[in-house]
Chain A
Amino acid sequence: GAGVGRAGCRVPRPTRLPPGWLPALQLARRGSKAVTRHWKAMHFQRQKLLAVTEYLPPRPAVPPRCLPAPRDRPEEEDGYVRLLRRQVEEAFRSSRMVAVCQYNSMPDEDVVTMRHYLRKHNIEVKFVLNEVVRPVLAQSKYRNLLPLFVCRNILLVSPETRAREMLRVLKGIPQVNLLGACIDDTILSRQGVENFSRLPSLEASQGQTVGALALLPSQTSSLLQRGPSLLTALLDEHIRRLRDTGTPGEPPQEQGTG
């Protein structure tokens, strides 16, 4: 802006200083040109200036290597993983019996044989990865099965609950160990599965229940008939005794009310 000179009068000053000016005296013959093939030696003052104006990186109060590693960029969901998760959900939804077994490496032909025998009982063998199954279970109602999915495992799923045949097949395979099962929305341990297998089948137990329930009604008619039948029996006994004691002529008058 305008400056104030002596005696308070305004002195016009240029608003902006000119950006650059060539030095009045240029040393023409000193040393090499500006652009050289070799590294031209710098004036010491320039070296000092470059040393002073070097880059200083920011230094946070806590060095980053003392802090826990930043868990940035969560991995995007893979389509394949989504498909596998959907398949697992489908398996859980459509089956009545889901058994979790620990799987140790077996020869391939033994795996095929095991699958064949279990298929005969309509049990399907599924190989599952823990990283696929764990999120699926955590959000569904089978949360308590999570501790079982730690090591290499297989799922035996079946729409029927034939625990006895499954246990018989698995007994012959030492590399596959039953850890637990979820049968008809009931979580059972290994012992529980064994107990379950020893139970009679559903039809037999239904028949038993029906029989037990039908026991009392079936006795109703005999209960009602108990009084008159007792009376009939007593009268018959009496008639026989009278006949036996040789008193003829007394015809049986009472007719048994059948």
Chain B
Amino acid sequence: PAGPGGVAVPRAGLKKLVLPPDYSGITFPEKPKLKFMDKVPAVPKVRREPRRLRDIRGPSREATDFIQGQYGILALGGGYLHWGHFEMIRLTIGRHMDPKSMFAVWRVPAPSKPVTRKSLGHRMGGGKGPIDHYVTPVRSGRLVVEVGGHCLFGEVQPFLAQVAQKLPFPAVPVSRESLQEMRREEEEKRLNNQNPWTFERVVTSNMLGMRKYLSPYDLRLQGRYWGKFFLKHRV
């Protein structure tokens, strides 16, 4: 507050005492730390599978909402997580969290999709290569890990952001409230869009023959996804 002559007059007001956070409805699982994920599933796959990149494309249908924890990492793009990523997540979170007051839960299954690699330096041809490693496909909008317990978002956010930066797809630490806020903002944007021309409208009514240049998947994806990427700024 400025006093006469522009000099700031210090003013002491009443201290606003904040109540401590309420951790009443939180149940801890038996093992608070993250489970160790195998590199190879218990029954390794014999038959080599086609690449099937459509498991990366588009929005996720499973693990989009919180189950046990209050904070988590949300994937904002598609990608494959392999054993190295799992170890990185497990060790980083295990290093930074306190098992007595916090817990963490996996929201992605162990790697089960086999990925083949041909040996280096060979020409094309000679059949499909042998299975090299296993991965988990992750679509955008899916939660990767969930963290909860007697902790605030500010305590958890630094190491979750560290983990999210190292993932192969763009990811962001979220809490229950921030996820709700994100969805609400998205909905608000969709409703108060001043542009009369929307991708949805053009595609469903095939204006100007646009569907010649678009994929049939764009009917479902509505221009918000391109390959494995999620275009956050769209609509």
A contact set with B: CB distance below 8 Å: 19-23, 33-37, 39-40, 42-43, 45-46, 49-50, 52-59, 78, 80-81, 84, 129, 131-132
The binding surface of chain B is classed by DSSP as loop
Query: Contacts of A23 on B, CB cut-off 8 Å?
Result: 211-212, 216
Judging by beta carbons under 8 Å apart, are B227 and A46 in contact? no
Judging by beta carbons under 8 Å apart, are A43 and B199 in contact? no
Query: Contacts of A131 on B, CB cut-off 8 Å?
Result: 13-14
Judging by beta carbons under 8 Å apart, are A35 and B227 in contact? yes
Name B178-235 residues within 8 Å CB distance of A: 189, 192-195, 197-199, 202, 210-217, 219, 223, 226-229, 233-235
Judging by beta carbons under 8 Å apart, are B233 and A55 in contact? yes
Query: Contacts of B214 on A, CB cut-off 8 Å?
Result: 46, 49
Given A35-B57, A129-B13, A129-B14, 15 more A-B residue pairs with CB atoms under 8 Å apart are A20-B216, A34-B53, A34-B227, A35-B53, A35-B56, A39-B227, A42-B226, A49-B199, A49-B223, A50-B199, A50-B234, A53-B202, A55-B193, A56-B193, A81-B14
| A40-B216 Cα distance, complex, nearest whole Å | 17
Contact A50 to B223, CB < 8 A, known contacts A59-B194, A131-B13, A131-B14 = yes
Pick the contact of B229: A39, A45, A50 (CB < 8 A): A39
Q: Is B17 an interface residue (CB 8 A)?
A: yes
Cβ-closest chain B residue relative to A80: B17
B contact set with A: CB distance below 8 Å: 13-14, 16-17, 53-54, 56-57, 78, 189, 192-195, 197-199, 202, 210-217, 219, 223, 226-229, 233-235
Query: Contacts of B233 on A, CB cut-off 8 Å?
Result: 55
Q: How far is the CB of A33 from chain B (nearest CB, A)?
A: 6
| A53-B234 Cα distance, complex, nearest whole Å | 9
Pick the contact of B14: A39, A53, A55, A80 (CB < 8 A): A80
Judging by beta carbons under 8 Å apart, are A40 and B223 in contact? no
Judging by beta carbons under 8 Å apart, are A78 and B195 in contact? no
Judging by beta carbons under 8 Å apart, are B17 and A55 in contact? no
| A201-B189 Cα distance, complex, nearest whole Å | 77
Contact A43 to B213, CB < 8 A, known contacts A35-B56, A53-B223 = yes
Q: How far is the CB of B228 from chain A (nearest CB, A)?
A: 5
Query: B53, B193, B198, B227: which has the most chain A beta carbons within 10 Å?
Result: B227
Chain A to chain B contacts (Cβ below 8 Å), 25 pairs: A20-B219, A22-B216, A23-B211, A23-B212, A35-B53, A35-B54, A35-B78, A35-B227, A35-B228, A37-B228, A40-B227, A43-B213, A45-B210, A50-B199, A53-B197, A54-B195, A55-B195, A57-B192, A57-B194, A58-B192, A78-B16, A78-B17, A80-B17, A84-B14, A131-B14
| A55-B222 Cα distance, complex, nearest whole Å | 13
Q: How far is the CB of B78 from chain A (nearest CB, A)?
A: 7
| A34-B56 Cα distance, complex, nearest whole Å | 11
Judging by beta carbons under 8 Å apart, are B195 and A46 in contact? no
Cβ-closest chain B residue relative to A22: B216
Query: Contacts of A129 on B, CB cut-off 8 Å?
Result: 13-14
Q: How far is the CB of B123 from chain A (nearest CB, A)?
A: 19
The 9 nearest A-B residue pairs measured at CB: A35-B53, A56-B194, A45-B213, A56-B195, A53-B199, A43-B213, A35-B227, A58-B192, A35-B57
